[in-house]
Amino acid sequence: MRKHEGKEFDMLKDFRLLTTEVISRTAFGSSYMEGKHIFEMVAKLTAITVKNVYTVRFPGISMLIRTDDEIEAEKLERGIKSSILELIRKREKSKDGMFENFGTDYLGQLLKLLHEPDTNKSITLDQMIDEIKALYGAGHLTTTSLLGWSVFLLALHPEWQEKARKEVVAFCGLEKTTSDAIARLKTVSNTLIKNLCCSDSSKHVDECMLDTPKVEHFWRI
């Protein structure tokens, strides 16, 4: 590590890969490659939407003359829907379509609601697709940002790194991490909470970036 001391590393790319893998496997039981394709399409669609948020389109003319962004957005929408439907079909096929066998992850719970006979409790296929798109988009972005901010603040406070490492070794050791062990990681939990205090809104982010004493204040426990 000494030979890399003082050098900058772009960790955001690795965080994106990590969150893609975690969300794909835990929420949908899919592989990284399946999730990666959906994440990429959602990211591109989001970028197009933000780019054109203030674009004024005239009724009638917009039906005849379509921009490249509109054509690309429709293509991405179809691709996202097709990929999500493929995830759904794979799960239904693997579980033999039985209501109680759809699984306990996020996708399984949504499938149970999709096949719920009570219309007051059930959801439509389009609603299910929107829920999955939201998790792929918002969940991926926020988790990646949380990791990025955590590393940034830990870099400012090396003493917290030492406390967190000792705590992880003490409660987790070399064994497989359990939910009980994670619940006992107080320093790690406080680190994430203090991070959220800074990254919860753009106002807090600006304060943290522009005023170092406020970062110090956030990190006092």
Mean pLDDT of the chain: 77
Task: Name the phi and psi angles at 73, rounded to 5.
Answer: -65, -40
Q: Is residue 61 over pLDDT 60? A: yes
pLDDT digits (tens, 9 = 90+) for 79-136: 989 988 888 888 887 765 454 567 778 888 888 898 888 888 899 989 988 888 888 7
- Cβ distance 198 to 205 under 8 Å? yes
- Cβ distance 169 to 177 under 8 Å? no
Under the banding of pLDDT at 50, 70 and 90, the label for residue 210 is very low
For the chain, how big is the Rg over CA atoms in Å? 22
Structure token digits, residue 119? 């219309």
Helix residue ranges per DSSP H, the chain: 12-28, 32-51, 61-64, 68-94, 106-114, 125-134, 140-156, 158-171, 179-183, 186-199, 202-210, 212-218
What is the b/e burial string over 63-87, where b = at least 16 CB atoms within 10 angstroms of the residue's CB? eeeeeeeeeebeebeebbbebbeeb
Amino acid at 67: T
- Out of 35-49, 134-148, 194-208, which region has the weakest mean confidence (pLDDT)? 194-208
pTM of the model: 0.64
Under the banding of pLDDT at 50, 70 and 90, the label for residue 75 is very high
> pLDDT above 90 covers what percent of the chain?
5
- Cβ distance 187 to 164 under 8 Å? yes
Mean pLDDT across 20-27: 80
> Whole-angstrom Cα distance, residue 166 to residue 187?
10
pLDDT digits (tens, 9 = 90+) for 30-39: 666 777 788 8
Structure token digits, residue 126? 């389009």
